[in-house]
Structures are given as structure tokens and as C-alpha cells.
């Protein structure tokens, strides 16, 4: 596990902290303020439990069964039963990073003191994270309202020593065995705690935060690949001028255009066709309109970041303990705000990927590539070059278009019509993860193709920034030549896009890109 330690309290965690816990194994600890807030709200729950007045989830059943009054001697069983019965997920295991993000975000809500959970229960959840124990959570089971019930129930199941988990080495073991090996005791749930562990939007929010982190890097890499394509296709950089962008003052468009100007600065290839002998008045849309599309994508990401930031500052549970001691039912568990943002992000992913594929195709078509060999092949006809790399890219783009269909427009009533409108935000998050993965591969194919095209422009040389990217790629992928096994080259380029190496290479010449 990581050496970094993050204090979890009533204040929201940062995006970076969520990523550090989810991916890097950062340790967590409850803050003193969280301990105090939780103890105070717990006192209120215990006082209410002693009164005859029904309180949802404390002395009543759940969902459509909320009209049933639960006798005091059955309330411990009530909390145990909600965890067992709601741990009804199905399908493949969800990724470790998603489960860890979800665990951290549930811990964050407990730490606000608005759920009525005991500090020792929150400490037990932190203990799971710190021990590297990851409950097995399944793909299907959440309707995104009342939060991510089934996924969170599988987490809570591990807390009570039941179900299966992955230990720190990734082995599938019974939760009871993993807890014992880590020196952790199963939690005996008290009043309301089963409900408090389940009733949140933490899974979909965790996936949103992780996607936003990845997309920020991919957006810059996409600008790099686009700049290389502009250069390879003998396009112009004049359309990216700042004064032209100011005529349409979208922030993301300005940022993307500025990146493209930096990336193409000093390019001998661009300079080679600036004179009056170049009779082309303007480039195709897939080149000329890159800042407009990539910029709109950036602005969509900025909106989703605003939503995610608000959610990180939220306490999602039902009922909640308010600062004045009232315990009130509410609808804050509804996943619509997150679901809409998740669905929104899938749209520009599909569109930007489609534009990248069009640029790739232009480099392979000798009627539109301005002197490049067909399919960038070494001996066209004998060699196919990058013909099928574009097929792969097109296949992914087609899938991305399907994934752009919103999940949040659907709603299937549940719990005997008590929960008659749900968000499907978890489904939106799952498909967004697939979309982000696909987009990285699309950008990589464009990058790989553009680098080959730039090499084939020799003796003309690319600019300092794009040349540095080609050089970085050539450490993993050979220069143009006869046909060879292409799948490993696409995989290598994808890895360089994902791990930031592409952007880092460009920045070695440009300085920081946005």
C-alpha cells in the first residue's frame, strides 16, 4: 500500500486524494473533527431509538416496507439483514480502483456526522482500505437510487466479515479470513448503520472522478495527435491564431488552440507550404475545427468537474442527522446530477474520437494526403501499411457512438413503486469507463499514424514538439518499413498516451501544455 496518508473529515476530499486512494493505495485516517461530528450525531440516533416515534431505517423497515414498525429486539437484525439482502450484485467483478474510490467516498460521508454512524464503524471502513482489502463488487445491481445500494452492500458485507474480498495480493478469499489476517474485527452493526453504509451515490461519483482525471490527460494528448496530423497533412496553423479564437470566446477552445500553436511552432513542414504556391484556401473541417471540437470537450469536462466537486462536498444518506439534531428523510440519494454529467461526457468522447478517425483516414488516402503513399505502406499492394489500424479505430469509434446513448433517460420503478423514478447513474458510469478506454486507443492510432506520416515527409522535419513525440514513440515502435505485426505497436502507443509520456515529450519542447 502507498505511504501517503490522507485525513478524512467533514471537509470534502480533493480529486487528487480520491485518485491517490483508489489507484495508488494511499492510507486514510479519520480526522478529530470527524470523530467529534460522528459522536454527536450518534448520540442523537441513540436518543431517537429509545422513543416510540418511528424513524425511517432506525425503527422501521426499508423502501416500501417502511410502514412496518420494528421492535427494539429486532433492530440489530434489521441492520444486518439490509446488508445481506441488498448484497445482490451479479456479473463480472468491478475494478479494484472503483471499489476503493467508492469505499473512500462512503467514508467521507460518514465523516460528515450526518449519517448517525459510530466513529468505530468508520474506522473499520478505513481499516479495510489501509489493509488493501477490496470487497468483491459486481457489475450489475445499482439503479443509482437510493444510491448505489447493491455495490455498497457488498462493501458493507465485507465489514461484517461475510462475502468475498480480494486481499492486498489480489487473491480471492473469504472476508472473514482477510479480516483476521489483517488483525481486523468484523463490525457488529448498530441502529441505522446498515442503512448508512448503503445509501449513497459513491460508486458513480468515484467513477466520475477517475474518468475526469483520465480525460484531462487524454485531452492534451489528443491536441498533440491532432497537431501531428495537421503537420503530416500539410495543413496550416494560421486558423489557430489567438485573434481568431477570441471571436468565439469559449474557454476550452482558446486552450486547445493555444496548445496547437505551441505544438506546431517552428515546424519546417508547416513553413514549407506557406508561400503563394500553396493554392489551398482552407483545410478540411477535421483539421481546421480541431479547437472548436476539442475545446467544447474541455468545457464539458469543466462542467462535470463542477458537478463532481459539489458531490464531493455532499453528505448523501437518508435519513440524515442535521446540525440542529433533527433527523429528516430526503431525496439527496438520487443520482441524477452525477448521471447527467456522466452521460454528457460520453458525447464529446464519441465526437472527438470520430474527428480523430477522420484525420487518420485522410493520412491513408492518397487522394487527400498530399503526396503520402497509399495507406502509408512501404510497397503499396504488397504492403497494406496502416489500412487495418484505421479499421480498428473506426470499430472503436462506432462503439463509442453507442456508448454515447444516455443511460439517465431510463427509469425502471422498483420497491413496489415506492422508488418509482431512478437515475441509472451507475450504468452511465460503467459505460463512461469503457468510453474513456476506447478514446485512449483512438488517440493512440492517430498518433501512431501521424508519426509514420511525418517520418515519410523526410527530408522535411517536424517541429521541435511533434518531433520529440515521434522520437519518444520510436523508442517503442520502429520507423516505417515493410508490413509487420501491428497490434503491439497500437498497444505501445496506447500505453504512452495513457501514462502521460506523449504529453511529457511534447512539453520537453513547448513547456507546460494545458
Cα 478 from Cα 448, distance rounded (Å) = 11
Cα 445 from Cα 455, distance rounded (Å) = 16
Q: Which DSSP state fits 40?
A: H
DSSP structure string for 95-151: PHHHHHHHHHHHHHHHHTT-S---HHHHHHHHHHHHTT-EE--EEE---SSSSSHHH
Which residue, among 357, 359, 336, has the nearest Cα to 411 in the 3D structure? 336
Torsion of Cα atoms, 70 then 412 then 88 then 56, to 10°: -20
Is 56 one of the catalytic residues? yes
**8 Å CB contact between 372 and 366:** yes
CA 39 to chain centre: 34
Count CA within 13 A, CB hemisphere, residue 486: 21
Cα 225 from Cα 71, distance rounded (Å) = 65
Sign of dihedral through CA atoms 295, 300, 306, 312?
negative
Strand partners, 93: 138
Strand partners, 138: 93
Catalytic residue among 56, 285, 439, 485: 56
Cα 180 from Cα 173, distance rounded (Å) = 11
- Residue at grid coordinates 489480489: 170
Task: Tell me the three cell numbers of residue 134.
Answer: 477490496
Residue positions annotated with a catalytic role: 56
Amino acid at each position: 500500500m502507498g505511504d501517503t496518508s490522507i485525513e478524512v473529515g467533514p471537509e470534502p476530499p480533493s480529486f487528487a486524494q480520491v485518485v491517490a486512494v483508489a489507484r495508488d493505495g494511499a492510507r486514510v485516517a479519520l480526522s478529530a473533527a470527524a470523530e467529534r461530528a460522528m459522536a454527536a450525531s450518534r448520540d442523537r440516533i441513540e436518543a431517537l431509538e429509545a422513543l416510540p416515534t418511528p424513524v425511517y431505517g432506525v425503527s422501521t423497515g426499508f423502501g416500501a416496507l417502511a410502514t412496518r414498525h420494528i421492535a427494539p429486539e429486532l433492530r440489530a437484525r434489521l441492520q444486518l439483514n439490509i446488508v445481506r439482502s441488498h448484497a445482490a450484485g451479479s456479473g463480472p467483478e468491478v475494478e479494484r480502483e472503483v471499489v476503493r474510490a467508492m469505499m473512500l467516498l462512503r467514508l467521507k460521508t460518514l465523516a460528515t456526522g450526518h449519517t448517525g454512524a459510530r466513529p468505530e464503524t468508520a474506522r473499520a471502513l478505513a481499516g479495510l482500505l489501509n489493509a488493501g482489502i477490496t470487497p468483491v463488487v459486481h457489475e450489475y445491481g445499482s439503479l443509482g437510487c437510493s444510491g448505489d445500494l447493491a455495490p455498497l452492500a457488498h462493501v458493507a458485507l465485507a465489514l461484517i466479515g461475510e462475502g468475498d474480498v480480494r486481499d492486498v495480493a489480489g487473491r480471492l478469499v473469504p472476508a472473514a479470513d482477510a479480516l483476521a489476517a489483517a488483525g481486523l474485527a468484523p463490525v457488529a452493526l448498530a441502529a441505522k448503520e446498515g442503512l448508512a453504509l448503503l445509501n449513497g451515490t459513491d460508486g458513480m461519483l468515484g467513477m466520475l472522478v477517475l474518468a475526469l482525471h483520465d480525460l484531462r490527460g487524454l485531452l492534451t494528448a489528443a491536441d498533440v495527435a491532432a497537431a501531428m496530423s495537421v503537420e503530416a497533412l500539410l495543413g496550416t496553423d494560421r486558423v489557430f491564431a489567438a485573434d481568431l479564437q477570441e471571436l468565439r470566446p469559449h474557454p476550452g477552445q482558446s486552450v486547445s488552440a493555444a496548445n496547437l500553436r505551441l505544438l506546431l511552432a517552428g515546424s519546417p513542414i508547416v513553413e514549407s507550404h506557406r508561400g503563394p504556391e500553396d493554392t489551398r484556401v482552407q483545410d478540411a473541417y477535421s483539421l481546421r475545427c480541431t479547437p472548436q471540437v476539442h475545446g467544447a470537450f474541455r468545457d464539458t469536462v469543466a462542467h462535470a468537474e463542477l458537478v463532481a466537486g459539489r458531490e464531493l462536498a455532499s453528505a448523501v444518506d437518508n435519513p440524515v442527522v442535521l446540525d440542529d439534531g433533527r433527523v429528516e428523510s430526503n431525496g439527496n440519494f438520487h443520482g441524477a446530477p452525477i448521471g447527467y454529467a456522466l452521460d454528457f461526457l460520453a458525447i464529446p468522447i464519441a465526437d472527438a474520437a470520430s474527428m480523430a478517425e477522420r484525420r487518420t483516414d485522410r493520412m491513408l488516402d492518397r487522394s487527400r494526403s498530399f503526396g503520402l503513399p497509399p495507406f502509408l505502406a512501404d510497397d503499396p499492394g504488397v504492403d497494406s501499411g496502416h489500412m487495418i489500424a484505421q479499421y480498428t479505430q473506426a470499430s472503436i469509434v462506432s462503439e463509442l457512438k453507442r456508448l454515447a446513448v444516455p443511460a439517465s433517460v431510463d427509469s425502471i420503478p422498483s420497491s413496489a413503486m415506492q422508488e418509482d423514478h431512478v437515475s441509472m447513474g451507475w450504468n452511465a458510469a460503467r459505460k463512461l469507463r469503457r468510453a474513456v478506454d476506447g478514446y485512449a486507443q483512438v488517440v493512440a492510432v492517430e498518433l501512431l499514424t501521424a508519426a509514420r506520416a511525418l517520418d515519410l515527409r523526410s527530408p522535411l522535419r517536424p517541429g521541435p514538439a511533434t518531433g520529440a513525440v515521434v522520437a519518444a514513440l520510436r523508442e517503442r515502435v520502429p520507423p516505417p518499413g515493410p508490413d509487420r505485426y501491428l497490434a503491439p505497436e497500437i498497444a505501445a502507443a496506447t500505453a504512452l498516451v495513457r501514462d502521460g509520456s506523449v504529453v511529457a515529450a511534447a512539453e520537453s519542447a513547448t513547456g507546460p501544455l494545458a
